[in-house]
Structure 1
Amino acid sequence: MNLLNDPTLVYLRAVLGTRVHRLRTEDRTRGASAIEWAIITAILAAIALAIGATIMSKIKSKADSINTGT
């Protein structure tokens, strides 16, 4: 029995071949905007983390300077 002639594998090869062909022939710049958005989001997240760390540092130093009398 030749497994390569199994109807399921023949079908899967046909579907995969169709998808690969479609991916090779479609517009290659389509995913560029998604990558740009991912980069912009990463930059904004890094900025937000830096601002948050700065604020936490200032709050902690101010809290440490409070005299509680103990």
Structure 2
Amino acid sequence: MVHPALGYLVTLLGARLDKARREEGASAVEWVVIAAVLVGICTAVGVILTTALRDEATNIGNDIQSP
């Protein structure tokens, strides 16, 4: 016997897949562009955070070493 929640999830997933196949939304190329933009944004944020953390760690290290 299958748990009712599992049956519901399978039915819901099937319905969403059917809708995705019929929907005339964004093409694959548009999704690739959207994904590339998001990756670029995440990379930029990562670089900014890494630089800020490295600079702050250097400042703390210098403060610790100075009398």
State the TM bucket, normalised to the shorter chain.
0.5 to 0.7
Question: How far 1:40 sits from its partner (Å)?
Answer: 0.6
Q: How far apart, CA to CA, are the structure 1 residues paired with 2:38 and 2:19? A: 24
Q: Structure 1 vs Structure 2: percent identity of aligned residues? A: 15
Calculate the aligned-residue CA RMSD, in Å.
Answer: 2.5
Aligned residues, how many? 54
Matches within 5 A, 1:51-62: 51-62=55-66
Matched, 1:32 2:49: no
Gaps (5+ residues) in structure 1?
A: 1-7, 66-70
SS in structure 1 at match of 2:33: coil
Where in structure 1 do 4 or more consecutive aligned residues deviate above 6 Å? Answer: none
TM-score, L = length of structure 2 = 0.61
Alignment match, 1:46: 50
Alignment match, 1:14: 15
Say if 1:12 and 1:58 are closer, same or farther in 2 by CA, change over 3 A: closer
Say if 1:38 and 1:29 are closer, same or farther in 2 by CA, change over 3 A: same
RCO (CA 8 Å, sep 6+): is it higher in 1 or 2?
1
TM-score, L = length of structure 1 = 0.59
